[in-house]
Amino acid sequence: MTHAKTLQDKLAHSLDKANVREAAAVKKTEAALDAVRRDYLAKARPLQERLGKAPAAAVAQPQGGGCTKLSVSLFSGDVARLEAIRAYMQTRGVRLSTSQAVKVALRTAPLSDALAQALDSIRAEDGRKW
């Protein structure tokens, strides 16, 4: 019975050591992620300040570490609006890509009855059966 007890003690001790090593690795990984986040936020702040937005710490960061790639078909009026957004930001010293202009438009669109009116306009322009 002593042999079994000794083996059980060795196994328990080995598992304890593994748990300690795993906890240290997790802590080290979290510290590295925090450093990456701080670096990202430090670089993101100047752009947000130029855009007149809230500080980066107040803006929710995306979960899952990525974005969703979409393909969007736009009418000429929509493209012209994106170009107007890009031109406006250029006057403020900020060059935007088309993707950034779409994101700015989405994040600043008011949630109001104007959305339903815009949808009616889109449906009329599209000509498809919705």
Quick one: 85 and 35 in the same domain? Answer: no
Cβ(38)–Cβ(85) below 8 Å = no
Of 62, 82, 110, the position where a domain reaches its end is 62
Quick one: 82 and 119 in the same domain? Answer: yes
> Domain span at residue 6?
1-62
- What local confidence, expressed as pLDDT, does residue 78 receive? 92
Of 62, 95, 112, the position where a domain reaches its end is 62
- What local confidence, expressed as pLDDT, does residue 5 receive? 74
Of 62, 93, 108, the position where a domain reaches its end is 62
Q: Which residues of the chain have pLDDT under 50?
A: 56
Please tell me whether the overall predicted TM-score, pTM, comes out greater than 0.75 for this model.
no
- What local confidence, expressed as pLDDT, does residue 3 receive? 65
Domains held by the chain: number: 2
